Structure 1
């Protein structure tokens, strides 16, 4: 998405403008607005920004015929163009219009360098269709319609922004627009001027396909299939809404008296829209728990979708890493881990890292694995923090700071502190950011060891606890219950 940068050497500037070295020296002195050279990002010699030179030429009568085609002044009483059908290109099907400036080729794609790639291909084949300029989508809205990136076949390496309204004026008709999710090759190839908007089904993306596979796989129980259905339907609703919104934005009336010359070419099929989603939360959580404990490859893929889309439905909190270190507080915790075969949760937890062994924390049911660090090859414990702790009648006895926050309890247990999936627990000087997440969790557990933290408003944590955790404690520092309670009641000193 966007306009690609290009740089021209002194020789290339001379070739573009059709001047010799003396001619370039002359025009630099004749025109105060001639672009200045800049330092090359790769070469020691000075270079010019290709777009600036190309735009300058288009706006300067002496050199307009050598400047960017769509930045030159439009001819007066320009004759309307003629639609010339579609052409398949290296970047998808494009639509052609024969115009007073030559053939304009418009491709409905907003990836980077699309205009340059197609213009280069056309020029390399001898330009049999007489294409003067290739336009691609910029991915944004301009004053008279969708923003465009253009590249001329005479200089395909120089991209510049073009005006949709100017292209429509040259074409002599409103130009078609497809929403992002309906830019399907067969729809673009079938379009003709005057055709009504096609009603088309929004294709499923990879995430929806993964979840639909789970829905159709009776190896999973009904609750897991319901959970997958709910998330798949939510994705479908979002994609149809996105296509509708695209059409509203890009097909809107113009900002002034003049209407944007845009024709909506396709609308999403909405016969069953919206589908019911956001079902009973307890049912959904139970279904995702079943998938997390599964050993089926489809469950792994589904959990990966959920981690990226709605991690709060999953039965575990933030991903955490702690070095394997003899004598550290984590060694005491590790002694209670039970070795197990990997589940879907373990595979997603690994994130492609090589695991030496897989474990389960029998008190919190959190998946754990032992792996090695990328930077030094030393062993690491990698695990999900629990969402809450098993409490019974126990209370928080102390907190130990060792690469994360650890909680010791009055009945002799040790746990990684609970955390939400999208946050992390830390302490020390955060260069302006204070460890209010950890302070919020500790404040909650001081009153109720089994409480489930909600970190949406962690900045409201007790200031005294936050100040205590903002200190640069050494790894392994233990803060007793009385120390924490005292800090919670003590306002921090002004510095």
Structure 2
């Protein structure tokens, strides 16, 4: 998405403008607005921004015929163009219009370098269709319709922004536009001027396909089927809503009294929209727990989708890493871990890292694995923080700071502190950011060891606790219950 940068050497600038070295020397002195050379990294000689030179030429009468085609002044009383059908290109099907400036080829794709790639292909084949300029989508809205990126076949390596309204004026008709999710090759190839918008099904993405595959797999129970169905339906609803929203934005009236020359070419099929989603939370959580404990490859793929889309439905909190270190507080915790075969949760936890062994914390049911750090090859504990702690009649006895926050309890247990999936627990100077997440969790556990933290408003943590955790404590520092309670009651000192 966007316009790709290009740079021209002195020789290339001369070739573009059709001048010799002396001619370039003269026009630099003749035109005060001639672009100055720039110095991008790794270039041994002075170079010019290709777009700046190409735009300058288009706006300068002496060199307009050598400038960007769609930035030159449009001819007065320009004759309307003629639609010339579609052409398949290296970046998908395109629509052609024969215009007064030559054939304009429009590719309905907003990836980077699309205009350059297609213009280069056309030029390399001898340009049998007389294409003057290739346009592609920029991925945004401009004043007269969707924003465009253009590349002329004469200089395909130089991209520039073009105006949809100018292209429509040259074509002599409103131009078709497809929402992102309905830019399907067969729809673009079938379009003709005057055709009504096609009603088309929004194709499923990989995440929806993964979840539908789980639904069709008898290896999983009914609750897992319900959980996967709910999330798959939510994905489909979101994609249809996105297509509807795109059409609303890009098909709306233009600025002022002038209507944008845009024809919506396709609309999503809403015959069964919206599908049912947002079911009973307890049922959904039970279904995702079943998938997390499964050893089936489809469960791994489904958990990966859920981690990226709705991690709060999963039975574990934030991903945490702690070095394996003899004598550290984590060693005491590790002694209670039980070795096990990997589950889907373990595989997703690994995130492609090589695991030496897989474990389960028997008190919190959190998956744990032992791996090695990428930067130094030393062993690491990698685990999900629990969402809450088993409490019983116990209370928080102390907190130990060792690469995360650890909680010791009055009944002799030790746990990684609970945390939500999207946050992390830390302490020390955050260069302006304060460890209010850890302060919020500790404040909650001081009153109820089994409480489930909610960190949506962590900035409201007690200021005294936040100030205590903002200090640069050494690894392994233990803060007793009395210390924490005192800090909670004590306003921080003002400087």
Output the TM-score relative to the length of structure 1: 1.00
Residue number in structure 1 paired with 2:47: 47
Q: CA deviation at 1:469?
A: 0.4
Residue number in structure 1 paired with 2:419: 419
**SS of equivalent residue, structure 1 residue 157:** coil
| Distance across 1 between alignment mates of 2:430 and 2:148 | 43
Query: Unpaired segments of 5 or more residues in structure 1?
Result: none
**SS of equivalent residue, structure 1 residue 55:** helix
Query: Unpaired segments of 5 or more residues in structure 2?
Result: none
| Distance across 2 between alignment mates of 1:310 and 1:101 | 51
| Distance across 1 between alignment mates of 2:223 and 2:468 | 45
| Distance across 2 between alignment mates of 1:275 and 1:39 | 55
Q: CA deviation at 1:40?
A: 3.7
| Distance across 2 between alignment mates of 1:448 and 1:466 | 19
Residue number in structure 2 paired with 1:315: 315
Residue number in structure 2 paired with 1:342: 342
**SS of equivalent residue, structure 1 residue 176:** strand
Q: CA deviation at 1:43?
A: 1.8
Q: CA deviation at 1:41?
A: 2.5
| Distance across 2 between alignment mates of 1:129 and 1:84 | 10
Q: CA deviation at 1:85?
A: 0.3
Q: CA deviation at 1:109?
A: 0.2
| Distance across 2 between alignment mates of 1:478 and 1:209 | 48
- Superposed CA offset, 1:395-434 (max 9, x none): 0000000000000000000000000000000001111110
Q: CA deviation at 1:371?
A: 0.5
| Distance across 1 between alignment mates of 2:103 and 2:93 | 15
Residue number in structure 2 paired with 1:164: 164
Equivalences for residues 207-218 of structure 1 within 5 A: 207-218=207-218
Residue number in structure 2 paired with 1:329: 329
Q: Quickly say closer, same or farther: Cα 1:445–1:106, change in 2 above 3 A.
A: same
- Superposed CA offset, 1:166-202 (max 9, x none): 0000000000000000000000000000000000000
Q: CA deviation at 1:35?
A: 0.6
| Distance across 2 between alignment mates of 1:408 and 1:41 | 54
Aligned residues: 495
| Distance across 2 between alignment mates of 1:26 and 1:257 | 45
Q: CA deviation at 1:38?
A: 1.1
- Superposed CA offset, 1:87-120 (max 9, x none): 0000000000000000000000000000000000
**SS of equivalent residue, structure 1 residue 46:** coil
| Distance across 2 between alignment mates of 1:256 and 1:55 | 27
| Distance across 1 between alignment mates of 2:472 and 2:42 | 43
Q: CA deviation at 1:461?
A: 0.3
Q: CA deviation at 1:44?
A: 1.8
Q: CA deviation at 1:124?
A: 0.4
Q: CA deviation at 1:42?
A: 2.3
**SS of equivalent residue, structure 1 residue 38:** coil
Alpha carbon RMSD of aligned pairs, Å? 0.5
**SS of equivalent residue, structure 1 residue 295:** coil
Output the TM-score relative to the length of structure 2: 1.00
**Divergent runs of 4+, >6 A:** none
| Distance across 2 between alignment mates of 1:353 and 1:239 | 32
**SS of equivalent residue, structure 2 residue 199:** strand
